[in-house]
Amino acid sequence: MKILHVTCSPRGHCSESLRLSKNIIGCLLNNDPTATVINRAVAGDVLSQVDEPYATSQQSSADVSQEGSIARSEALIEELESADVVVIGTPMHNFTVPAALKVWIDHIARVRRSFNVGAEGKTSLLRDRPVFIAVSSGGRFSGEHPRQPDFLTPYLKAVLGMIGLHDLTFFTVEGTAFGPEAVAQARSKTDQALHEFFLTNTGSAFGAD
Q: What is the DSSP string of 96-151?
A: B--HHHHHHHHHH--BTTTEEEETTEEEE-SPP--EEEEEEESS--SSSS-SS---
Q: What per-residue string of b and e applies to 85-103 under the rule 16 or more CB within 10 Å gives b?
A: bbbbbbbbbeebbbebbbb
Let me know if residue 208 belongs to a domain: no
Q: What are phi and psi of 111, to 5 degrees?
A: -60, 145
Does any domain span residue 157? yes
Per-residue pLDDT of the chain (209 residues; tens, 9 = 90+): 999 999 999 988 889 999 999 999 999 999 999 999 999 999 988 999 988 888 888 876 666 667 788 999 999 999 999 999 999 999 999 999 999 999 999 999 999 999 999 888 999 999 999 999 999 999 999 877 788 999 999 999 999 999 999 999 999 999 998 999 999 999 999 999 999 999 888 655 454 44
Does the residue 207 lie in any domain?
no
**Total number of domains in the chain:** 1
Contact partners, residue 107, CB within 8 Å, separation at least 6: 47, 50, 69, 72, 73, 76, 77
Query: How many other CB atoms sit within 10 Å of the CB of residue 77?
Result: 19
Quick one: which of 147, 148, 76 has its CA closest to 107? 76
Range of the domain at 121: 2-200
User: Full-prediction pTM beyond 0.85?
Assistant: yes
Length of the chain (residues): 209
Kindly report the CATH number assigned to the domain that includes residue 147: 3.40.50.360
